[in-house]
Amino acid sequence: MTKLLQLQPDIIERVQELVTEYRYFLVDQFGVLHNGFTAYPGAAEALRQLKGMGAVIVIISNSGKRADLNKTRLSNLGFTPDCYDDLVSSGEVAWNLLNSEYIGSRLTRSARCYLLSNNNDRSALEGLDLTVVENIEEAEVILLSGQHLNEKGLAALCQRLQSAVKSGVPCFCTNPDKIAYAESGKVFSSGTVAQWYEEQGGEVIWLGKPYPEIYQYVLKQYNITDKSQVICVGDSIEHDIKGGVIQGLSTVLVRSGILDDLDDNQITNLYQRHSATPDYVIPEFI
């Protein structure tokens, strides 16, 4: 059941203020805990303090990579396993859905797959009965698990995908984020590519926030029936906040991420555009 749209969020200074009301914290990683290269000061300690106060911490990420690769990345950034209880990525949820539901029904066994990922990462397909092809003209399905693109790269990729749109090739987007962090700064991500694909008339199967599968996965894993005990923490109104609102979950917007350069009026406009106002706003995850 969708929550009623809140008019204005409550401003809080520290995330620990929420422990008395919520037990389960579904915490985004990029833009909340780190920027992809460096951990935000105090974020790891904030997680440890929450756990010490009895909270259950689930990192819930729109990463197209499998969960174990995300855990390794977090560990390298100083977020050791004692910081959280579990990590669920959209890539992990997608892998499970492809393996249990789509391959063998919607997709034939060994269907020809054109993979789009960062750094040629193929972990999203490991253990699946799909055949990777290098020529998009041969593809029966596209798996869009990650892309970091500047404006020129985005235009070139969209041009390459036009034949797949015309051929009716379905595209599985396992990272709906439209903006991501790269060493050069903010760049276009997979969600922007998938949005273009859909606007051209192509079929896109969206997996990740704000879509329901990733939330249902977590709720089922922890046998959560009382949603009032759950709060989603994220830096994206379009993904983290909207996803939580749609699922009837409380939300807190962290201002240290992709929206850090917007003023209050611009943020309010985004609340209205996406019909998603958080319950709380915090300057940073500390």
Please provide the DSSP assignment of 6-35 as one string.
Answer: PSSPEE-S-GGGGTTT-SEEEE--BTTTB-
154 and 195: one domain? Answer: yes
Whether residue 4 is contained in a domain is answered as no
- Sites in the chain below the pLDDT cut of 70: 1-7
pTM to 2 decimals? 0.91
167 and 244: one domain? Answer: no
Task: Report helix, strand or coil for 90.
Answer: helix
141 and 195: one domain? Answer: yes
173 and 194: one domain? Answer: yes
CATH number at residue 264: 3.40.50.1000
- Following CA atoms 99, 123, 216, 207 in sequence, which dihedral angle do they give, to the nearest 10 degrees? -90
Tell which residue, 7, 1, 52, 2, has the closest CA to residue 25: 52
What are the pLDDT digits (tens) for 8-44?
899 999 999 999 999 999 999 999 999 989 999 999 9
23 and 61: one domain? Answer: yes
> What's the confidence (pLDDT) of residue 109?
87
185 and 263: one domain? Answer: no
Whether residue 3 is contained in a domain is answered as no
73 and 121: one domain? Answer: no
Whether residue 268 is contained in a domain is answered as yes
192 and 131: one domain? Answer: yes
Whether residue 2 is contained in a domain is answered as no
119 and 202: one domain? Answer: yes
> What's the confidence (pLDDT) of residue 2?
46
> What's the confidence (pLDDT) of residue 1?
41
108 and 202: one domain? Answer: yes
- The whole-angstrom separation of Cα 141 and Cα 76 is 33
77 and 110: one domain? Answer: no
Which domain covers residue 125, as residue numbers?
103-206
Task: Choose one of 152, 171, 206: the last residue of a domain.
Answer: 206
Whether residue 15 is contained in a domain is answered as yes
> What's the confidence (pLDDT) of residue 88?
97
Whether residue 219 is contained in a domain is answered as no
Contact between residue 207 and residue 215 where contact means Cβ atoms under 8 Å apart: no
CB burial readout 79-98, b (16+ within 10 A) else e = beeebbbebbbbbbbbbebb
Whether residue 52 is contained in a domain is answered as yes
Whether residue 23 is contained in a domain is answered as yes
Number of domains composing the chain: 2
